[in-house]
Amino acid sequence: MSRQSKLALVFGLILVLASITIAQAWAVTDNPYISNLFRTGSRPYSNQLTATVTTILDGTYHYAYELIYDSAAFAGQLLTSFSVANDYDMPFTNQWCDYDFTAAQSDNSIYWYVNLPLGTTVNFSYDSPAFYDVVDSAMSAGLPAGGLTLGMVPEPGTVAALLFGLCGAMWAGIKRKRK
């Protein structure tokens, strides 16, 4: 591969990474983000979910959720859990709910376990240094329901920097092999 071809390849990679970063920055999601958690099938229902992300003074983000639990598959069914996807295992702190709750984290979600009656509005939250975008969320009230909300994801600039660093390491490896 000629020197000009290598330079063209590196320039092309830089252009692609910059384009991805710019496109993701333009596609910033509505904040607050209002959605519904839907249960489909033989006993459909939906409940309104509002997510709001605010910046804390130390530069981290506060993720707050309000779930209006006014619909269930069965009358009198308790809301037993609420979860937000954390597919990238991003760090978080200060997990909170305005009712008694038990918190947990699986490999890909943050959970709040509660026992709340129909007609309850419940608030959940946590803090994280991770940026936000649309992720999956779910609730369980006898039968599960799911939808979209705001949650933690790597920042677009961080992803681009990591990819650019990887390209640089590969380029350095190629140069060392030739010498």
Same domain, 17 and 37: no
140-152 pLDDT, tens digit per residue, is 998 999 999 999 9
Laid out side by side, the sheet with 61-69 consists of 93-97, 120-128, 61-69, 45-55, 33-39, 143-153, 131-141, 79-85, 109-116, 102-105
Domain that holds residue 170: 3-25+158-178
Same domain, 82 and 92: yes
Task: Assess contact for 82 and 66: CB atoms under 8 A.
Answer: no
Same domain, 59 and 89: yes
Judged against a pLDDT cut of 90, whether residue 64 lies above it is answered with: yes
Average pLDDT over residues 58-70: 97
The residue that leads in pLDDT, 110 or 3, is 110
pLDDT of residue 159: 47
Average pLDDT taken over every residue of the chain = 86
Task: Assess contact for 130 and 61: CB atoms under 8 A.
Answer: yes
Same domain, 115 and 64: yes
Same domain, 12 and 81: no
Same domain, 51 and 72: yes
Cα distance between residue 52 and residue 125, in whole Å: 10
Same domain, 77 and 122: yes
Same domain, 87 and 11: no
Same domain, 103 and 124: yes
For the chain, the domain total comes to: 2
| CATH number reported for the structural domain that contains residue 144 in this entry | 2.60.40.1170
Same domain, 21 and 68: no
89-104 pLDDT, tens digit per residue, is 999 999 999 999 999 9
Task: Assess contact for 72 and 82: CB atoms under 8 A.
Answer: no
% of the chain surpassing 90 pLDDT: 66
pLDDT of residue 175: 60
The residue that leads in pLDDT, 166 or 112, is 112
**What is the pTM (predicted TM-score) of this model?**
0.75
Same domain, 165 and 118: no
pLDDT of residue 5: 73
Average pLDDT over residues 163-179: 59
Cα distance between residue 177 and residue 179, in whole Å: 6
11-55 pLDDT, tens digit per residue, is 777 776 656 555 455 556 899 999 999 999 999 999 999 999 999
Task: Assess contact for 120 and 53: CB atoms under 8 A.
Answer: no
Same domain, 145 and 116: yes
